[in-house]
């Protein structure tokens, strides 16, 4: 009996041990499964976080590149036009400041022309012989009272503008698309009493080889010529041969043009025969390749010298080669210095400089090659 009882006593112990082992195995399996699930969740969270970081980095990189491109794009550097600002119409009365001798040779300054060589003739050889009745004292002049050379001479304009291998090539006979006065100035013309321009308008053969995508940089000095207008006519700076304000002193025709000694018809100021003078309309190109526009932001809202940088330029949207682009450009204003007063990029040589076909208006050297 004792032996049986001993045998029965062993049987329950073995059964209990087996149950404990099974429970432990189940617990271990559950723990392992839980760990696997937690690991999977952690891995999924890590993966999602990495993708989010990568995406943010990518977006940040793209934004940085776009921001950098905007900041470093040479065409968008410079003083920006505020299209919401009312710049006003400062000179609506026609009374303008006289810019005689407003030049510098040591560095660009707003309102002054930065010349490479300030070599002028004496006033007796400069063209206009005396102040006309449109002067208001010595410091101002009235554009509405200014005389103009009479005449209605028609010309056959020839101009082409082509883009070739990163260059803008403008070929012109330098005859305007509008009528001019009669030159030489006739003795019977009231203008003769103040400016006896003896020169005749002659057809030229000019090719302007300009940069199509100029690089904006620090101001560079200039000679007597600024560039070419899309009327086909050369644009000279704001001085006459004596370093006086050409707009105030010299008498031009009704389109603000006149010829110099080689017969080159040219402007110093904004021609009233250019009808669209909006800030977004390109009306010419400077020798460094940057566009030239008019000053009109909106009706009764015009830019003046005070609104522009030291080279007489600003950055805004313009229509260039049929597309709206944001670029630095020069602005022709009513007031002196009227157009570009220095160059923001390397200027090309004006046509005729090496052949003598076109003289600088005030005996200056052209801008140096750089």
Average pLDDT over residues 76-84: 93
* List of residues 6+ apart from 136 with CB closer than 8 A: 95, 142
The pLDDT value recorded for residue 43 is 66
Question: What whole-number distance in Å separates Cα of residue 56 and Cα of residue 40?
Answer: 24
Residue 8: burial class (beta carbons within 10 Å; 0-12, 13-18, 19+) = exposed
* Distance from C-alpha of 363 to C-alpha of 135, rounded to nearest angstrom: 26
Provide the pLDDT confidence category of residue 138 given band limits of 50, 70 and 90: very high
Which are the contacts of 281, defined by CB distance < 8 A and separation ≥ 6? 293, 294, 318, 319
Q: pLDDT by residue (tens digit) across 339-360?
A: 999 999 999 999 975 333 323 4
Query: What tokens does 22 get?
Result: 């099974």
* Residue 331 near residue 308, CB atoms below 8 Å: yes
Categorize the per-residue pLDDT at 153 as very low, low, confident or very high, splitting at 50, 70 and 90. very high
- Distance between CA 77 and CA 49 in Å, rounded? 39
Mode of pairing for the β-strands spanning 257-259 and 265-267: antiparallel
The region of weakest confidence among 9-18, 96-105, 283-292 is 9-18
pTM: 0.77
Task: Assign 113 to helix, strand or coil.
Answer: strand
Q: In whole angstroms, give the CA distance from residue 349 to residue 116.
A: 13
- Beta strands 265-267 and 234-236, pairing class: parallel
The DSSP letter of residue 328 is E
Tally of CB atoms within 10 A around 326: 16
Tokens at 42, concatenated: 């952690």
- Per-residue pLDDT, averaged over 146-153, amounts to 98
* DSSP-derived 3-state class of residue 85: coil
How much is the mean pLDDT over the chain? Answer: 85
Centroid of chain to Cα 214: 9
CB 116 within 8 A of CB 353: no
Q: What is the average pLDDT across 69-75?
A: 41
Percent of the chain's residues with pLDDT above 70: 77
> Per residue in 278-302, is it b (16+ CB within 10 Å) or e — as a string?
bbbbbbbbbbbbbbbbbbbbeeeeb
* 139-158 CB burial, b ≥16 within 10 A, e <16: eebbbeebbbbbeeeebebe
């Amino acid at each position: 009996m004792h032996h049986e009882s001993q045998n029965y006593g062993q049987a329950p112990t073995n059964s209990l041990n087996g149950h404990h082992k099974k429970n432990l195995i189940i617990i271990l399996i559950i723990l392992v499964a839980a760990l696997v699930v937690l690991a999977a969740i952690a891995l999924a969270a890590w993966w999602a976080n990495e993708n989010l970081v990568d995406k943010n980095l990518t977006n940040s990189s793209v934004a940085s590149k776009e921001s950098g491109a905007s900041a470093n794009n040479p065409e968008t550097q410079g003083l920006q036009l505020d299209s919401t600002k009312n710049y006003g119409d400062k000179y609506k009365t026609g009374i303008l400041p006289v810019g005689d001798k407003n030049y510098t040779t040591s560095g660009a300054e707003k309102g002054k022309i930065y010349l490479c060589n300030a070599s002028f003739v004496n006033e007796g050889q400069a063209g206009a012989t005396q102040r006309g009745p449109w002067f208001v004292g010595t410091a101002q002049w009235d554009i509405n009272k200014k005389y103009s050379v009479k005449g209605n001479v028609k010309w056959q304009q020839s101009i082409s503008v082509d883009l070739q291998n990163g260059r803008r090539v403008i070929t012109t006979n330098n005859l305007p698309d509008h009528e001019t006065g009669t030159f030489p100035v006739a003795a019977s013309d009231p203008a003769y009493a103040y400016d006896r321009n003896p020169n005749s308008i002659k057809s030229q053969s000019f090719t302007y080889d300009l940069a199509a995508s100029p690089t904006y940089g620090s101001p560079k000095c200039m000679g007597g010529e600024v560039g070419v207008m899309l009327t086909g006519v050369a644009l000279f700076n704001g001085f006459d041969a004596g370093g006086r304000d050409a707009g105030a002193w010299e008498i031009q025709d009704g389109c603000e043009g006149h010829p110099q000694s080689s017969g080159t018809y040219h402007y110093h100021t904004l021609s009233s025969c250019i009808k669209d003078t909006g800030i977004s309309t390109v009306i010419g190109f400077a020798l460094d390749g940057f566009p030239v526009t008019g000053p009109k932001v909106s009706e009764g809202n015009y830019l003046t010298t005070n609104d522009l940088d030291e080279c007489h330029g600003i950055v805004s949207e313009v229509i260039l080669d049929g597309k709206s682009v944001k670029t630095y450009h020069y602005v022709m204003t009513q007031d002196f210095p009227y157009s570009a007063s220095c160059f923001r990029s390397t200027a090309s040589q004006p046509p005729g400089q090496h052949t003598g076909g076109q003289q600088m208006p005030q005996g200056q050297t052209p801008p140096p090659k750089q």
